[in-house]
A = this chain, B = another copy of it.
């Protein structure tokens, strides 16, 4: 006697979200209790629209190739289910004979699973609801870190490493804007680019500390005085003392529609570059916004991240099939000890849903413009080795 399962992807894509998908699917395919395996297109939207992929029909070689492909192979969505959505979803899943529901995503996606689980219980619907963690922002509570972060952090570290070499050649000030609305982990990873004293990034600004434009300009001037140049990593989500995003303050002045959008816009970088030009009188100032490349650039993958993303999918299916829990999320916890290692543990959906985790204070320096050695020790094993670079003597 078998039951069917359904799996879907939600929220922002990542470099390794397909590894979680394929890890889960291949684990389910090897288990005799699992019948059909539905992949819903574009998260819960696919359930509402009746758009599915038969994940038993895929051959193993193609699944392995999909696992190594960036972005969300099933498509994604950002949708919070209403009670009506939930009712429609239960009807659809009942029709399909689905007993196990898996949803791969971040804290918003965990909230979706939490809502569906709660509504299913209310409706007396027998549905196991499991969340598989994914977020490049690394901001899921109850986790040491999340699948997707290590690879995105590797992209950021590589990009800043190359950009620092570029800045070293032509000088001036370079501002790199990194993804991260409320959590600074990804921006902080820029610090991994440093190899020698004097290497950039020379300054790092995170959403966890209030951002002051004059203080920033003074910091840049001091760095230029010291190093003859300055590379800055700044989170797109930096905000002032009142919690208003810096870019929102700026856009409110220029955009009549009041649209505030952090990613997919170069506004923050340009604003900061203009400030350095105008207030510090520095001529060569450039800003780059790394944008969507951070989560989708093919080939830039952390081996640790890839393996853990796979395991998160495997563990979710195993936990669900074991049947002791009706619902949950699979958390990644770091083992104690000098050598890096993790274990996977089921946690209640409420423990990861909605709210974001921030950088702990011990990871941020006192001045609020850099990270600490504790952060570097935390992040290094997640990202793995970076490409080697060499310098001529005396340069």
A-side residues, CB < 8 A to B, are 9, 12-13, 39, 41-42, 53-55, 57-58, 62, 65-66, 68-78, 158-159, 161-163, 165-166, 168-170, 174, 254, 263-267, 269-270, 273, 285-293, 295-300, 386-395
- In the complex, the chain B residue whose C-beta lies closest to that of A170 is B76
Asked if A162 and B296 make an inter-chain contact with CB atoms under 8 angstroms apart, the answer reads yes
CA A287 – CA B293 in complex, angstroms? 11
Specify which of A57, A77, A270, A386 lies most central, judged by the most chain B CB atoms within 10 Å of its CB. A270
CA A289 – CA B290 in complex, angstroms? 8
Asked if B391 and A73 make an inter-chain contact with CB atoms under 8 angstroms apart, the answer reads yes
Main secondary structure of the interface of A (DSSP, over half): loop
CA A267 – CA B66 in complex, angstroms? 35
CA A296 – CA B319 in complex, angstroms? 44
Asked if A169 and B76 make an inter-chain contact with CB atoms under 8 angstroms apart, the answer reads yes
Given contacts A266-B265, A289-B266, whether A71 and B168 have CB atoms under 8 Å apart is yes
Residues of B with C-beta under 8 A to A391: 66, 69, 73
Asked if A390 and B165 make an inter-chain contact with CB atoms under 8 angstroms apart, the answer reads no
Specify which of A72, A286, A288 lies most central, judged by the most chain B CB atoms within 10 Å of its CB. A288
Given contacts A265-B287, A287-B266, whether A395 and B53 have CB atoms under 8 Å apart is yes
Specify which of A62, A170, A291, A389 lies most central, judged by the most chain B CB atoms within 10 Å of its CB. A291
Specify which of A74, A162, A263 lies most central, judged by the most chain B CB atoms within 10 Å of its CB. A162
Asked if A163 and B293 make an inter-chain contact with CB atoms under 8 angstroms apart, the answer reads yes
Given contacts A13-B169, A65-B388, A265-B273, whether A53 and B162 have CB atoms under 8 Å apart is no
